[in-house]
Amino acid sequence: MFHTDVIDRRDAMARIALLLGATALPAQAFAAGAVKAKPYLAAGQFALLSAVADTVMPATDTPGALAAKVPARLDAMLGAWASPETRDAIGGAMLRIEEAAKAKTGKSFAKLNAKQRDAVLRPHDAAALTKTGKPATSGKFPFGSYIPVADPGYLRLKSLILDLYYYSPEASATELVYEHVPGKYEPSVKLTPKSRPYLGVGPF
């Protein structure tokens, strides 16, 4: 929903809070114990959320959303910190996915195999994320630009799944590359016993 070129962990926490409609999230929201909180979603809704998360971010040569406990983390956040507006938006988005699955296959989305779920979600995703206007600016803090789409609830749901996945220890250890900055010293100018220091920051 909101776009930036570089996102660090603090930015990710702020983005997740924004997607949830919360002004801030406490540190315990991201702790391992948070996934053990009392479930917010009913069993059928949680199964649907798990199937959607697994389809959006399936396991490949790296862990997927299920291994990263994304459904449990999102469920805990919906119950403890999400705004009523966010709960309604995400609930509506999941309902529309369920309706699309039943219209196409006659079955619940959670009852489909991975290939069938993909066949349902891909066209639904394309339609839901169709742009309906030019980039605008949020009128609420934190102010950020966003692109209006046909189904904002689905965009919020998908964004939370992706953000919670990449924030997880499982993804950060396997999907992302840590580059130490500034890194080791690698001189670009050959130094000899006769070399003298430069006045200023040096040659480039």
Q: What is the pLDDT of residues 2-30, one digit of tens each?
A: 334 444 555 555 555 555 554 445 555 55
Give the domain ranges of the chain. 9-174
At 203, is the pLDDT very low, low, confident or very high (cuts 50, 70, 90)?
low
Q: Which residue type occupies 33?
A: G
Backbone angles phi, psi at 152, to 5 degrees: -60, -30
Instruction: Tell me what pLDDT residue 46 has.
Output: 96
The pTM score is 0.71
Cβ within 8 Å of residue 16, ≥6 positions away: 25, 77, 160, 163, 164, 167
For residue 63, is pLDDT > 70?
yes
Q: Which residue type occupies 159?
A: S
Instruction: Tell me what pLDDT residue 7 has.
Output: 47
